[in-house]
Copies of this chain bind each other. A is one copy, B any other.
């Protein structure tokens, strides 16, 4: 492999010192009052020799990596990959890169990934956390390390965060289902179900029902393990259908669940919405195409990504330890389609 050109090589070739060259390369030429002529010579030679700085040396010296970590449960979930794409674009404008990692909803793995990112001097982390007790996160917090929670937040602790108004989303679904005259309702959630996103959606839904004197039966809340969705969804649907109270409508708390519910209902020959209605949280492209098209709570994906980036960058700029964290809740929208 042809050897890379170092700062020293460049300086030698120019008959100048490393310092000078380094300054020019970092755009501090004017500040330090280096003559235009010299600056030009340096820049040209650099291009000619194809010089690019060694990021390790730079990182070692400055303790900066120009890297941000993004930790999500599963990057192949379209909700997260869309956010990732937005963040990639936004960060690259500021010359930051994204190290993307999936936790598979494993809190232990999440902690390992956080440590890994810190070893690599990631300058900040954007995190859709699976933690129940965010002790690892609090450590970061106390170190004043830039961290922004997305999608999921924690009640007690105060972090920067960008989530949506999940409670309102749940309530909207409740209202709509009742308005449409559905009665025997079931909710499908996913484990670990303590995740704020899920509890909030469920709470909003329950509250919505309560306001209209309806109540959600405990047995109608189905918690599906993250890594066995298909089979477990089928099991629960069969259980719910075998009871005397005839199931009316299903509210799935994320897009994966909706897909599995849809498939299962088709498989066992139930019609949507005639036999059973379906509403889901998370609007993905497939819902618009599905048969029937799925009514869903849409989240402002772009804005989530953009806002998270803004928050990280602002922490990076102003190294103000005491700046209050800002939890942000973006509005959601119930997109009416045919499944309900």
Contacts and interface: CB of A to CB of B under 8 A. Distances in A.
A89 to B, nearest CB: 8
Interface in A265-299: 284-286, 288-293
Contacts of A60: 54, 56-57, 60
Interface in A57-76: 57, 59-60, 65, 67, 74-76
A56 B119 CA distance: 9
Contacts of A326: none
Q: State which size class the interface on A falls in.
A: 35 or more
Nearest to A92: B101
A31 interface: no
Contacts of A82: 76
Given A88-B100, A98-B100, A100-B88, A65 B74 contact: no
A84 B88 contact: no
Contacts of A1: 143-145
Contacts of A263: 288-289
A193 interface: no
Given A144-B1, A285-B259, A88 B116 contact: no
A259 B289 CA distance: 8
A250 to B, nearest CB: 15
A75 B88 contact: yes
A293 B291 CA distance: 8
Interface string A33-72: 0000000000000000000111111011000010100000
Given A59-B56, A76-B81, A290-B290, A99 B101 contact: no
A81 B88 contact: no
A92 to B, nearest CB: 8
Contacts of A76: 78, 81-82, 84-85
B119 A101 contact: no
Interface string A102-120: 1000000000000110111
A99 B97 contact: yes
Given A60-B54, A101-B88, A119-B53, A286 B290 contact: yes
Contacts of A289: 259, 262-263, 286, 289-291
Nearest to A86: B76
Nearest to A319: B1
13 contacts: A1-B145, A2-B143, A52-B115, A52-B119, A55-B120, A75-B81, A76-B78, A78-B78, A89-B102, A263-B288, A289-B291, A290-B291, A291-B292
Q: When A and B form their complex, which 3 residue pairs have the shortest distance between CB atoms, in order from nearest?
A: A291-B291, A286-B286, A76-B85
